[in-house]
Homo-oligomer: A and B are copies of this chain.
């Protein structure tokens, strides 16, 4: 087992096409886990992840700030602290910050 603090983990800029003002921390990366990995995202003001899809699911839990989960029709589902969401494999989606503060959430993915 191991216990760590979020501030011990490097926050790296997400450089994927379509990402803006997004940092990622790999809290429990694939090489430390068995079935799924835990990441912490920090989306700064005006930022967003790419509008994209992939063949794995997301499970997310919001820690801070005000955000939205955008679906394939462009609808924005509000995300606040204490909200959680599931995105199915191959669903088009995007996370965006719609507030002034950092929008921070955990996002787990299968390995």
> Interface of A with B (CB < 8 Å)?
1-7, 27-28, 32-36, 38, 57, 59, 61, 63, 69, 71, 77-80, 82-89, 91, 93, 106, 108, 110
Q: Is the CB of A38 within 8 A of B84?
A: yes
Closest to A79 in B: B3
Q: How far is the CA of A60 from the CA of B38 in the complex (A)?
A: 9
Q: Which of B27, B85, B108 contacts A1 (CB 8 A)?
A: B85
Q: Is the CB of B3 within 8 A of A61?
A: no
Oligomer: number of copies: 2
Q: Is the CB of A61 within 8 A of B27?
A: yes
Q: Is the CB of B36 within 8 A of A59?
A: yes
Q: Is the CB of B110 within 8 A of A108?
A: no
Cβ contacts under 8 Å, A84 to chain B: 3-6, 27-28, 38
Q: How far is the CA of A34 from the CA of B58 in the complex (A)?
A: 10
Q: How far is the CA of A86 from the CA of B106 in the complex (A)?
A: 15
Minimum CB–CB distance for A83 against chain B, Å? 5
Closest to A32 in B: B86
